[in-house]
Amino acid sequence: MHTRTKRSFGYQWLRYRVSDNEENRQHFYRRTGTQPSTLPGQLFFEAGCGMGRYLKVIGEQPGAEVVGLDLSLAVNRARAENRSNPRVHLIQGNILELPLRPECFDHVYSIGVLHHTPSTEEAFKSIVKLVKPGGRVSIWVYHLWGPPGQRGFKALHARLRGRVSDTLRLLTTRLPHPVLHYLCYVAAPLGWIQMRIRKLPAPLRLLLLPLTLLPVSPHPEWRVRLCDTFDWYSPRYQWKHSVEEAAGWFEDAGLADISTTGFAVSVRGRKPAPDEQSEGHPGDCPDPDPQILHFPREAAQAWGAVDRSSDQLIGDVGVHGNPIYRVPGVEPGIERGRKRILNAFGCDADDDRPSTDQ
């Protein structure tokens, strides 16, 4: 069920080396509703960390700690990006079968991920369990075609683009990744052309309408356009939601202070603390449990990152201090592919032997 998703994102994040630290910071702080000053002392969990760009933003703040989990070999790149930082921890595993104990994290977030699982709502329910009482949850998922409340020609145009995209995806989600990569390469300039067309007067825009019906990333940097276009057409699952629907998941989970401001669909909320009614301190997260900040082995065990059947720490491979905890069976081909991938990221593959005595 997850094979295409895993391979697709593994291919994407190991192939496209795109990342702009300043842009990443802006996205992270906006979508999680946090500020650099609020991060120290907090333990974060990122569901679907990809190549680890947001882990890096958290890792920059002294005292802030983060666990990133991803299904794909993108975790190898996340490690390479964050390997000098002992406060960034990685797990290769599935959001729908989290190998972690509930209620351990101060802030659980997921940016552009839950809609790529078989069920966005089930994935949300799974990650909400991880947040401590008083802690926060932030998600960003794809919106239905067209911005909220849009009417008239613009709404019709958005729906048409949706039809074109959905029809094309019937094919593109089945193509071999290198083939799709080259198709996206050819399509990427169209994103730039579409941006120009948007600035033209209405009659010209109408004339050039056919050129605007194929969704292609409009990012100003062409490598990011290529990566984002691949990201759009390759993954098997790509659900879209309304703001109301996503806010409903937060309500059903009993979260408070629900906010839906920002680029749709962006939702943030807080798990009420048990004594909140009497105390009333919205925003005060409990102090991090000192026990779980002793990484790697002690912390991983405290989080429950163990193979449940044998109660052993799940296979970890350490490169310069950042181990990846792989849920057994999640990456059966890892032994074969590891050396090549690590070399690709400039890691010393010989340092990457499974360790038993760390």
Binding footprint of ligand SAM on the chain (CB under 6 A): 2, 5, 9, 13, 48-50, 53, 69-72, 74, 94-96, 111-113, 116-117, 231
Q: Provide the pairing of β-strand 312-313 with 306-307.
A: antiparallel
124 vs 145 by CB, closer to ligand SAM: 124
How far apart CA 253 and CA 230 sit, in angstroms, is 33
How far apart CA 102 and CA 253 sit, in angstroms, is 14
53 vs 181 by CB, closer to ligand SAM: 53
231 vs 352 by CB, closer to ligand SAM: 231
Token readout for 150 is 């849009």
Token readout for 10 is 């593994």
101 vs 157 by CB, closer to ligand SAM: 101
212 vs 231 by CB, closer to ligand SAM: 231
94 vs 165 by CB, closer to ligand SAM: 94
CA dihedral 294, 297, 300, 301 (to 10 degrees): -100
Report the nearest approach of ligand SAM to the CB of residue 240 (Å).
14
Say which DSSP state 143 is in. Answer: B
Report the nearest approach of ligand SAM to the CB of residue 116 (Å).
4
For 28-51, the DSSP string reads: HHHHHT--GGG-TT-EEEEES-TT
Report the nearest approach of ligand SAM to the CB of residue 289 (Å).
24
13 vs 105 by CB, closer to ligand SAM: 13
273 vs 314 by CB, closer to ligand SAM: 314
Report the nearest approach of ligand SAM to the CB of residue 296 (Å).
20
Helical segments of the chain, H only:
3-15, 21-32, 53-59, 74-82, 120-128, 152-172, 177-198, 202-207, 222-233, 243-252, 276-279, 297-303, 334-344
Report the nearest approach of ligand SAM to the CB of residue 73 (Å).
9
How far apart CA 97 and CA 122 sit, in angstroms, is 11
Q: Which residue is nearest to ligand SAM (CB)?
A: 50
How far apart CA 71 and CA 12 sit, in angstroms, is 13
212 vs 217 by CB, closer to ligand SAM: 217
Answer yes or no: are the C-beta atoms of 351 and 358 closer than 8 Å.
no
Q: Which residues contact 284 (CB under 8 A, 6 or more apart)?
A: 134, 273
Report the nearest approach of ligand SAM to the CB of residue 279 (Å).
34
Report the nearest approach of ligand SAM to the CB of residue 225 (Å).
15
Report the nearest approach of ligand SAM to the CB of residue 126 (Å).
9
Report the nearest approach of ligand SAM to the CB of residue 75 (Å).
8
Amino acid residing at 303: W
Answer yes or no: are the C-beta atoms of 69 and 95 closer than 8 Å.
yes
Say which DSSP state 213 is in. Answer: S
Token readout for 324 is 């990846």
How far apart CA 188 and CA 220 sit, in angstroms, is 11
